[in-house]
């Protein structure tokens, strides 16, 4: 009788395990990990219905791996396992049993994988001033797989190319299909707007409201398409940059809809928006409440603001960044809304990534106003309490207060090309200004072509500056074919690349589909970008600039092997400059080869530069 009773209890326990596992999915984040990581500590967030009942977690003995602790939350659907994965651990499978006081509740098999032996060689190489970044909004570039245009079960079922704010069907396969176009143009690195799942009910084409960190959006093709794209890039010697969002998530994210506890997010008595005033973070006179509203206020009502002071969420975000870097072989990260994050958290996150991958490139979005503001958020030379460890930033100052006024304002003491010159003189505050990303426009700003009055000559001037100045140049998709429009409404700066969809009236990926003007600008970019690949003066050389005179701005890029002269003349009329003024840089040279047309020009006396031109010549 006793034996029968024991058998009956054993059967019931086994059925209990089968029943629970069958009815409720058990998810773990990160979904897998690797041996040989420098940081040997690993946090596993387990999410399953009433998993807290199985808080007695047992790890089947595994050499080199130790279960150190288990943490539970107010919400019974979560628990966290802490592991020590030592350097001696080998790839394999970890097996966990979750037990209540009386019986097993669930089981988990967890993969430890071997790290790629190509890190730092063909993948995770980093991005430098030798690269040309091309920014793509995947939904708006090209539709390579119509089968993923709508995904059953997702909240947003829109597919309407006539509406700026709905999904259009572009995907990762569409990008992969046009890598020849990009490589021929001279592009060496792709930065994609977010590719993670954004299962929001509307306005999801931009991708900045994650709802699951470990799922690549199936409307873009999912993880298979992402891996295939990255593999294709790396085989070509090209690079990939992923967009990170640490400040917020989408309101439909499972961590918000079924949050472990309320401390994972910032809360206010009533809804409180961020002020968007980054100045308070460096203002010596700022009030505490203004600083709090800036950092802890929500970006928009549909994006809950993450509390980086919560160590579990902070670890979740950092481990996700490490996971993506290793899983996908990322060469760089662009960090969204950098100024709105808790800055001590960002230093910790940046350090974790760079400790593990020293060659990895990180740069933050710093849509701020003023050199002190921008430099505050990256490595700088200030002796101040907060010291950022971020390698580079998006250089809004050289955009808003540099190239734009240079080409849209008349010449004055602080206007026109003098504004560009003056902004560049402040580079002394950066630890390394060459790590900053230069750009003419992006997915949030008015198209550069529209900002310069749809003037083709000035468009080419902006491109010439972008590809010859210091820093890492970034080109927004379509700039090379004169895509236009202003940022109000911002949907118009996110139009589809013509030719990316079957049946498009024109295919701008092909010369025959472009107008003469579009081909002129495309070929201009192509010539200069491909020359830049082997022009060490432009990619790694020094910059020397001269005080603008008569509305003309002259700068040199140079090293021991090469010297390149750049003369910017935004005026309508031709200007003649006396080359004797630049003897410091031209000594020993008598001619310059025009990079665009190959012609040779004497530079020993006078140089004539046509109106609305950036004259670029290699000295000989």
Say if residue 498 is in the same domain as residue 580: no
Say if residue 151 is in the same domain as residue 109: no
Residue 262 is given by DSSP the state G
In a domain, 280, yes or no: no
Residue with tokens 């690549």: 216
Residues acting as catalytic residues:
336, 365
Say if residue 583 is in the same domain as residue 599: yes
Whole-angstrom distance, CA of residue 553 vs CA of residue 601:
19
Whole-angstrom distance, CA of residue 549 vs CA of residue 412:
10
SS3 content of the chain, % helix, strand, coil (to 5): 35, 25, 45
Say if residue 197 is in the same domain as residue 224: yes
Residue 21's pLDDT is what?
43
Say if residue 340 is in the same domain as residue 381: yes
| Contact status, residue 619 vs residue 595, Cβ threshold 8 Å | no
Say if residue 530 is in the same domain as residue 553: no
| Contact status, residue 446 vs residue 486, Cβ threshold 8 Å | yes
Length in residues, the chain = 620
In a domain, 292, yes or no: no
CB-based contacts of 158, cutoff 8 Å, min separation 6: 166, 167, 202
Residue 528's pLDDT is what?
98
Range of the domain at 40: 12-113
In a domain, 21, yes or no: yes
Say if residue 522 is in the same domain as residue 573: no
In a domain, 455, yes or no: yes
Structure tokens at 85: 């994965």
Residue 600 is given by DSSP the state E
Say if residue 103 is in the same domain as residue 150: no
Question: Rg for the chain (alpha carbons), in Å?
Answer: 27
Say if residue 561 is in the same domain as residue 530: no
Say if residue 345 is in the same domain as residue 489: yes
Q: Which of 182, 163, 176, 126 is nearest to 476 (CA)?
A: 182
Q: What CATH number is given to the structural domain containing 455?
A: 3.20.20.80
In a domain, 317, yes or no: no
Distances (CA, A) of 18 to 26, 45, 106, 302: 13, 22, 8, 38
Cβ burial of 505 (10 Å; 0-12, 13-18, 19+) is: exposed
Say if residue 439 is in the same domain as residue 507: yes
Distances (CA, A) of 235 to 231, 345, 467: 6, 35, 25
Structure tokens at 113: 């994988």
Domains of the chain: total? 3
Say if residue 550 is in the same domain as residue 483: no
CB-based contacts of 555, cutoff 8 Å, min separation 6: 469, 543, 544, 545, 546, 566, 568
DSSP labels for 357-425? -TT-EEEE----SSHHHHHHTSSB---SS------EEB-HHHIIIIIHHHHHS---SSSTHHHHHHHHH
* 617 bridge partner residues: 565, 594
In this structure, what are the phi and psi dihedrals at residue 558, rounded to the nearest 5 degrees? -155, 155
- Domain boundary pick from 468, 501, 534: 534
In a domain, 360, yes or no: yes
- Domain boundary pick from 62, 83, 113: 113
Whole-angstrom distance, CA of residue 128 vs CA of residue 146:
35
Q: What CATH number is given to the structural domain containing 556?
A: 2.60.40.1180
Q: Which residues of the chain have pLDDT under 70?
A: 1-24
Q: What is the pTM of this model?
A: 0.96
Give, rounded to a whole angstrom, the gap between the first and last alpha carbons of the chain: 102
Residue 123 is given by DSSP the state B
Using H for helix, E for strand and C for coil, what is the string for 64-96?
CEEEEEEEECCCCCEEEEEEEECCCCCCEEEEE
């Amino acid at each position: 009788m006793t034996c029968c009773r024991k058998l009956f209890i054993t059967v019931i326990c086994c059925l209990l395990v089968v029943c629970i596992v069958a009815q409720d999915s058990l998810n773990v984040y990160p979904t897998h990990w690797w041996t040989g990581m420098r940081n040997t500590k690993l946090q596993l967030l387990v999410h399953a219905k009433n998993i807290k009942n199985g808080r007695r977690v047992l790890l089947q003995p595994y050499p080199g791996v130790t279960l150190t602790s288990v943490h539970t939350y107010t919400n019974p659907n979560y628990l966290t396992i802490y592991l020590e994965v030592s350097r001696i651990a080998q790839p394999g499978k970890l097996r966990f049993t979750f037990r209540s006081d009386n019986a097993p509740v669930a089981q988990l098999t967890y993969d430890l994988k071997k790290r790629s032996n190509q890190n730092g060689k063909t993948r995770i190489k980093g991005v430098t001033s030798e690269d040309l970044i091309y920014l793509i909004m995947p939904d708006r570039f090209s539709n390579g797989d119509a089968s993923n245009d709508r995904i059953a079960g997702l909240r947003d079922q829109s597919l309407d190319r006539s509406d700026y704010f709905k999904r259009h069907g572009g995907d990762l396969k569409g990008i992969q299909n046009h890598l020849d176009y990009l490589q021929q143009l001279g592009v060496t690195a792709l930065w994609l707007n977010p590719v993670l799942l954004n299962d929001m009910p509307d306005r999801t084409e931009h991708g900045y409201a994650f709802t699951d960190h470990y799922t690549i959006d199936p409307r873009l093709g999912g993880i298979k398409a992402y891996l295939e794209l990255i593999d294709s890039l790396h085989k070509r010697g090209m690079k990939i940059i992923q967009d990170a969002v640490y400040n917020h998530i989408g309101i439909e994210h499972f961590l918000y809809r079924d949050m472990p506890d309320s401390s994972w997010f910032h809360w206010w008595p009533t809804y409180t928006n961020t002020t968007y005033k980054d100045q308070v973070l460096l203002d010596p006179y700022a009030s505490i409440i203004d600083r709090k509203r800036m950092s802890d206020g929500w970006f928009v009502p549909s994006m809950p603001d993450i509390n980086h002071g919560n160590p579990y969420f902070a670890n979740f975000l950092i481990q996700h960044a490490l996971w993506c870097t290793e899983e996908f072989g990322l060469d760089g990260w662009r960090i969204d809304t950098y100024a709105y994050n808790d800055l001590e958290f960002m230093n910790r996150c940046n350090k974790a990534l760079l400790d593990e991958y020293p060659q990895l490139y990180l740069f933050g979005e710093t849509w701020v106003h003023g050199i002190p503001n921008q430099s505050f958020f990256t490595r700088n030379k200030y002796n101040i309490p907060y010291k950022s460890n971020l390698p580079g930033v998006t250089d809004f100052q050289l955009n808003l207060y540099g190239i734009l006024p240079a080409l849209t304002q008349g010449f004055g003491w602080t206007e026109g090309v003098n504004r560009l010159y003056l902004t560049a003189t402040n580079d002394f505050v950066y630890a390394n200004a060459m790590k900053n990303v230069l750009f003419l426009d992006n997915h949030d700003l008015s198209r550069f072509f529209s900002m310069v009055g749809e003037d083709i000559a000035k468009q080419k001037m902006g491109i010439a500056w972008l590809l010859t100045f210091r820093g890492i140049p970034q080109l927004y998709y379509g700039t090379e074919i004169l895509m236009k429009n202003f940022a109000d409404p911002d949907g118009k700066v996110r139009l589809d690349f013509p030719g990316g969809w079957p049946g498009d009236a024109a295919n701008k990926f092909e010369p025959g589909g472009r107008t003469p003007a579009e081909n002129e600008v495309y070929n201009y970019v192509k010539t200069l970008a491909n020359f830049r690949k082997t022009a060490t003066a432009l990619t790694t050389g020094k910059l020397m600039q001269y005080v603008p005179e008569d509305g003309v701005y002259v700068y040199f890029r140079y090293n021991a092997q090469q010297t390149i002269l750049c003369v910017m003349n935004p005026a309508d009329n031709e200007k003649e400059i006396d080359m004797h003024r630049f003897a410091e840089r031209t000594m020993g040279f008598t001619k310059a080869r025009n990079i665009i047309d190959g012609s040779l020009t004497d530079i020993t006396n006078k140089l004539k530069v046509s109106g609305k031109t950036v004259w670029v010549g290699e000295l000989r």
